[in-house]
Structures are given as C-alpha cells and as structure tokens.
Structure 1
Amino acid sequence: MNQLDTNHEDIFENFIFCLEGVPDIEEPHSSEVVESLEKLAFNYGLASIYKTCDTIEGLEESLNTLLYDDHGFKDYEIIYLVMKGEENSICLNDYYYTLDEIAEVFEGKLTGKILHFANSKVLDLSSDEAQFFLDVTGAKAISGYGTPFDRLTSINLDKAFFSFFKETDNVFDIVEELFQKNYDLCKLLDFRLYY
C-alpha cells in the first residue's frame, strides 16, 4: 500500500483512502489523482492512502486490508473511488458491479464513512438504492456527480470537498460550504449527496 509522505504525522487528523480503477495494475500509469492528494496533504493536512485495483477482488482486498490491518482506519473518514461505471454500478476490467453487490461485500464495515465517487462514474441512485447501501454498509453518506465525464474532471471540486473536512466533520455543513464557494462547478457537475 502506498502512503503519501506523512513526516508530520501528528498534524493529520483526517484521512482519505483513494482507490482508483485501472485497466491493469501491473502496467505503469500516471494519474492526476495522486498529485491532487499530495496537495491536500501539504495544504490542508489531509493524509491519504492511494491504491489501484483492476478487479472486484482487488477492490475487496484493498478495503479489507484497510479495515483489518490498518489500526488507524477509524480516522479514514472518506473513501474516494475513482473508477468508471454507470448510475448504480462500477466497472472494473469490463465487468459491472452494482452498488447493491458492493454493499453486501462490505456489510457493516463502512460505519461512519463517506463513499465519494469522482465524476469518471455518474452517480444516480434511487432513494431505495441509496438507503439499501447506507443501511447494509453503515456508511454515513454517498456522494458523487450526476454529470458524466466530458473533458472536465471533478478533481478540483473533489479537492475542495475534501479540504472542508479539515474544519468540521458535519457533512451537511461541508456540502453547504462547498456550494457557497463553488456553486457554478457544483451545478455544472451536478454534485449529489445521499445520506
């Protein structure tokens, strides 16, 4: 597992676990996500773990490692997923997995966490789908975007969203501040929060 530089460990109070879907984890790739997470660490004191996966088993293994091997997991408030997919599914290696299937894999394991999707995947859930995921996993909220990726990534809005966690962990206050300071981008990308 790759952890960004955390030489001043005592300054980090909130953490982000980022999992990016890639075609093949054995192949080198570059990602603007890593650079963005490094800036969050240095500018806002939000440390991150970044990992890639190319299968549902890799996703499950990464989250289980975090859950069971990382004793600081209680400090990871945000699970940031950067992967392709559609309304209620993610796509890994050309296979689609619904959020219902993912919820069952992580039953009761995401208590108090916010699952945030980059706009590489549209997030469009019915209230029943969202409620099922939240009830089964124990997650505090699911957030993402309703506008599909079209040359404009959500990386800057994601970064703004995460930076507000430095001041409070009240997700409603954070979303309100996000809209106040980034209204046009929130509307353009159709920021969504299910809780």
Structure 2
Amino acid sequence: MEIEKFIYCLEAVPDIETTNTTEVVKILEDIALVQDITSIYKACDTIEGLEESLSYLLYEDHNFKDYEIIYLVIPGEANNILMNDYYYSIEEIAELFEGKMTGKVIHFANQKVLDLTDEESQYFLDVTGARAISGYGSTTSKISSTITIDRVFFSMFQENDDLAEVVESMFQKHYNLCKLLDFRLYY
C-alpha cells in the first residue's frame, strides 16, 4: 500500500479577516483534483499566527505524520521572511520550528530568495529536525512557482521518496524552468 504524502501550506496574507480566496488556495484545490494530492491550507498575518498554526498541526492534528511537505508561501528577502512588516531571519525561523519538523521537507515558494550557505542549511536542518529545505534563488515576478514548478515538485515527491532523484528528474524534465527560478534543495 502506497503512503500518501500531504502538504501543509501556510501563506502570509495582509489580513486574515479578509475572505478573499488567494491564488494559492485555487492552485492547491486544483492539485487535489488533478494530481490527487491532499493539502491543508492556513493563512497567517503575523509570526504568532504562523507559530499557532504550526502548534495546531503538531498537537491537535492526528494526521501530522502524513504531512511530509510544509509549504511556506511567504514573501521576504534572501533568507528572511516578511510578516506584518517585520523580517525574520532563517535562524529565527529555525528556532520557531525547533525540533518540530522531524522528517519534513520545508519548501518555500519563490516569493523570497533561499540562498543558504552549507553552514546555514545544516543549522536549519539540525535545529528543526527537517529532512530538507527547498526553495528558489530567484523571485521573478513574471512566474509564480506555485503555478508552475511547485506542482511538479509535489507530484514527483508523491511518487518518489528519494529527494535527490526527484530533483534530478525535475531538472531533466523541466530544466529551463528550474534554471529560471533557480530551484534549490538543501538536505
């Protein structure tokens, strides 16, 4: 029996009280229908909201072990996220996730650059317990990774648990897009 891998998506929005359906929600719904990949979506407008959402996932959701990808759609600059007009470093994010992401793949959409040194990526992985961290070296506004290559990554990871093989296959099948967005995986 094949074990399904779920996606837990946290998206930064200006105000969670706004009831607009975001592009990310529409894409996740399409991924569920077309690719049969289950996801849970949560909007956050503060770092406390992000932390609360993670705590709920960890302590209240009995299917937490099934969520292998934590998908963060959060703007920012290189190795920082922006929430509620404040930047949080990758080290602060690691401390927020401390010991809570064992075996998970933390994947950032291309709304921020992920450009880690070996030391930074190892620190993040060690502190969080995550299996890998991935994202993009380019934040081109012309192409959203959510619409394009993230779908491919999720689908290929659903079929193959070997991250190195997944990345190799992504570059073989979608080389131009992977290069344009500068897909990166640290593990």
Which position in structure 1 is the counterpart of 2:129? 138
Deviation per CA, 1:53-106: give whole Å up to 9, x if none: 011100000011001111111010100000111111100011011111121122
Q: Measure, in 1, the Cα distance between the counterparts of 2:127 and 2:60.
A: 22
Q: Measure, in 2, the Cα distance between the counterparts of 1:159 and 1:12.
A: 19
| Displacement over 3 Å in runs of 4+ | none
Q: How does 1:103-114 map to 2 (within 5 A)?
A: 103-114=94-105
Aligned-partner SS, 2:76:
strand
Q: Measure, in 1, the Cα distance between the counterparts of 2:103 and 2:27.
A: 24
The change in CA–CA distance for 1:11 and 1:127 in structure 2 (over 3 A counts) is: closer
Report % sequence identity. Answer: 62
Which position in structure 1 is the counterpart of 2:32? 41
Q: Measure, in 1, the Cα distance between the counterparts of 2:3 and 2:83.
A: 31
Kindly state the Cα deviation for residue 46 of structure 1 after the two structures are TM-superposed. Answer: 1.0
Contact residue 105 and residue 131 of structure 2 kept, 8 A: yes
Residue 165 (structure 1) aligned to one of 134, 137, 157: 157
Aligned-partner SS, 1:84:
coil
Aligned-partner SS, 1:74:
helix
- 2:85 is the counterpart of 1:94: yes
Q: TM-score, structure 1 length as denominator?
A: 0.91
**Number of aligned positions between the proteins:** 186
Contact residue 121 and residue 149 of structure 1 kept, 8 A: no
Contact residue 79 and residue 112 of structure 2 kept, 8 A: no
Residue 114 (structure 2) aligned to one of 111, 116, 123: 123
Match of 2:160, as an amino acid? T
* Structure 2 gap segments, 5+ residues each: none
Q: Measure, in 2, the Cα distance between the counterparts of 1:45 and 1:74.
A: 18
> RMSD of the alignment, in Å?
1.5
Q: TM-score, structure 2 length as denominator?
A: 0.95
* Structure 1 gap segments, 5+ residues each: 1-9
* Farther-moved stretch of structure 1 (135-144 vs 171-180): 171-180
Aligned-partner SS, 2:172:
helix
